[in-house]
Chains A and B, each alone.
Chain A
Amino acid sequence: MKAILIWVPTLRLSDLQVGQGGTVRHVDDHSAADAIARRLRDLGFVAGETVRLVARGPFGREPLLVQVGFTRFALRAAEAARVRVSQDPA
């Protein structure tokens, strides 16, 4: 069987527009033992999970309110930037 490689363009969760959804591809580690990236994975930001940017804070478009699974988390932009998502077709 021939493996089919599909290149999926990803963007950062922090780059989504409010109301836009996506599918998590992976979470970047910003350092060797990135505790924030580990925690994001524990909270359900894992490959295949769908996410949606629900709202942004009133000042400086931060923090971001992200729906993952059945839960909503407020993430600062630097935290959300670790999550790579592929955008859902609109």
Chain B
Amino acid sequence: MNAAAAEARIALVGNPNCGKTALFNRLTGSRQKVANYAGVTVERKEGRFTTPGGRSFRVLDLPGAYSFDAASPDEAITRDICRGAFPGEAAPDVLVCVVDATNLRLHLRFVLEVRRLGRPMIVAVNLMDAARRRGIAIDLPLLARELGVPVVETVAVRRGGAAALVDCLDAHGAIAPAAADGASHDLHAEVQRLLSLAVRMPTRTAAIDDAIDRVVLHPLLGLLLLAAVMFAVFQAVFAWAAPLQDLVSAGVGALGERVSAWMPEGPLRSLVGDGVFGGLGTVLEFLPQILILFLFILALEESGYLPRAAFLLDRLMDGAGLSGRSFIPLLSSFACAIPGIMATRSIQDPRDRLATILVAPLMTCSARLPVYTLLIGAFVPRREVAGWFNLQGLVLFALYLAGIASALLVSWVMKRARRRDGEHALLLELPSWRLPHWRDLAIGLWERARIFLRRVTTIILALTVLLWFLSSFPAPPDGATGAAIDHSFAGMIGHAIQPLFAPLGFGWEICIALLPGLAAREVAVSALGTVYALQAASDDALSAQLSGIVASEWSIATGLSLLVWYIYAPMCLSTIAVIKRETNGWKHAGIATAYLFALAWLAAFATYQVASWVFG
């Protein structure tokens, strides 16, 4: 009975789309820990559970792999851990090889590859409910005898669906190592032999999959549906999130006031009230948008729609040096580049992934909207164009398009630059359609929200405190006129960098506002308010006052130049920090910052010069 004391380690391994993660969620519930494997940006998911028999297990959910002949960093990790060759990770005591009962022709080959390792293993035949519905009959005892390892059935999405696996782990004190067959058998031939022996499959594909795919992948209907899905996601992200965002910012604001009311007047109170809570409010305000976005992406991913979207768009994206898989990360970046860059982990080709990360900041994120709204309101007349359209709306649309066009151009240039680096493979599986299970959605959402919050709060908090310091100290001398920020370090920096921005038409007021805008772009608006020493009860009122000042004090050319600057706006330190994390180093974060800055400067310069000439 002393075996019960020690925690055994098991690893779930299997092809992508075998339902491995759903099984992992079923086994461990919310007792999961998500981190990265040492030195790489591959997600490491570990959880724990205790069997009814009292044995406790640590479960590792390994990245999906088609083969140990690894074609991506994910697959290499899975291979190395299964072999016990990954530094810092002990070899699992038992490998649980998960297969999709409806896709045995593909998945059994990997089982045979795992069996060759000669390690203790159990085969979990998952999705048995779907298989039965399709009339697929699998003789599990016969399969177990032929494979020489325990075979159990699981239905990850059903309560108690992992019972057979748990019982199997409970019953065997130790699972015997699989008989390594050493010989260089033809694995495909062996799979065919097993299938003909133990499996009866009436049809090759599910009729429902064929029917849905006929519409979803249709050259015209499919694209229309994709546009509709994108529109729905956008609508939800921007419309549904708005009331929640107001709630969050009001809540954080009220909390900040409560806390700072307890504190004596002075710099510390200003730090807590303006710096910490101000910064926190800025970040958390994006949380509803990001959660809604994540929920949609998870649902689309679990249902099997995402690979279909990648299928429809691959050719277009490939032409621009990206891949169909880049679509979702770029779509997410319209809300915020940070979740977008995090979502690039689903791109297996490291070069495609890098290209996507580098252009993601060019997608117009929602933080740019307040800046756009202010400037468009001040400089673009509200005029009808062609009887139907509003000129202001058209300009906003053009700004979005300019971002997309720039991204395609940049990735195309990168593709040309690395032309001779070999072929990029697509080789994308389109899995069966599945109804997402709420439990998997909830766990996925919780995980991503946690990662986002942890990453962003630490970075943004540190930055906002720093920027608060820069713009609050030193205090203006007695009897000084003008805005306090003008006398601060931020003011000094603004004045110092102004010559660099003079060719773009930016005065020192704008230069100062660019600094706090480093934390989050929309903060530039309230910073301008500070520079012009405005006092307003609400953000909307501030924006209205500011609009008047800006329209009278700046030239049209300056306004347009700043608008164009924000298409590229390299000034989002959180994005840069996330790029650094996701690419494991400063190199690509530096490249992204430098090229975005260069593009922003050049485009704003051209805009200012042309506009000065046109509008005199």
Contacts and interface: CB of A to CB of B under 8 A. Distances in A.
Interface of A: 30, 35-36, 38-40, 42-44, 46, 49, 54-60, 62-63, 65, 67, 69-76, 78-79
**Across chains A and B, which 9 residue pairs bring their CB atoms closest together, nearest first?**
A69-B105, A58-B219, A59-B315, A42-B67, A74-B428, A72-B430, A74-B311, A62-B315, A46-B188
A72 B216 CA distance: 14
Given A54-B213, A57-B311, A71-B103, A39 B426 contact: no
Nearest to B222: A58
A73 B314 contact: no
A30 B425 CA distance: 13
Nearest to B217: A55
A65 B219 CA distance: 12
15 contacts: A38-B69, A46-B188, A54-B213, A58-B222, A62-B315, A63-B428, A69-B103, A70-B205, A71-B103, A71-B429, A73-B428, A74-B427, A74-B429, A76-B425, A76-B426
Given A58-B222, A70-B103, A76 B318 contact: yes
B307 A67 contact: no
B426 A63 contact: yes
Given A62-B315, A71-B429, A74-B307, A43 B423 contact: no
Contacts of A36: 423, 425, 427
B542 interface: no
Contacts of A63: 311, 314-315, 324, 426, 428
A36 B104 CA distance: 22
B204 interface: yes
A65 B102 CA distance: 19
B223 interface: yes
A54 to B, nearest CB: 7
B66 A39 contact: yes
A42 B307 contact: no
B315 A44 contact: no
Nearest to B210: A54
Interface of B: 66-67, 69, 71, 102-106, 109, 188, 201, 204-205, 213, 217, 219-220, 222-223, 307, 310-312, 314-316, 318, 324, 423, 425-430
Contacts of B213: 54-55, 65
Contacts of B103: 69-71
A35 B348 CA distance: 14
A74 B213 CA distance: 13
A13 B425 CA distance: 16
Contacts of A67: 204-205
A35 B71 contact: yes
A56 B310 CA distance: 13
A55 B456 CA distance: 42
A26 B201 CA distance: 26
A19 to B, nearest CB: 11
Contacts of A39: 66-67, 69, 71, 425, 427
B313 to A, nearest CB: 8
Given A58-B223, A58-B312, A62-B314, A43 B188 contact: no
A58 B427 contact: no
B427 A79 contact: yes
A78 B423 contact: yes
Given A63-B314, A65-B311, A43 B66 contact: yes
Interface centre among B105, B217, B310, B311 (most CB of A within 10 A): B311
A34 to B, nearest CB: 9
A73 B316 contact: no
A70 B191 CA distance: 13
Contact of A75 (B69, B104, B219, B426): B426
Contacts of B426: 63, 74-76, 79
A73 B430 contact: yes
A16 B105 CA distance: 23
A45 to B, nearest CB: 10
A70 B194 CA distance: 15
A2 to B, nearest CB: 26
Contacts of B188: 44, 46, 49
A35 B72 CA distance: 11
Given A74-B314, A74-B426, 9 more contacts: A36-B423, A39-B71, A57-B219, A57-B312, A59-B315, A62-B318, A65-B311, A74-B428, A75-B427
Nearest to A50: B204
B143 to A, nearest CB: 16
Contacts of A74: 307, 310-311, 314, 324, 426-430
Nearest to A42: B67
Contacts of A56: 219
A42 B430 contact: no
Contacts of B204: 67, 69-70
Nearest to A62: B315
Nearest to A71: B106
Nearest to B188: A46
A43 B426 CA distance: 13
Nearest to B318: A76
A65 B429 CA distance: 9
Given A38-B69, A74-B311, A59 B316 contact: yes
A73 B429 contact: yes
A73 B71 contact: no
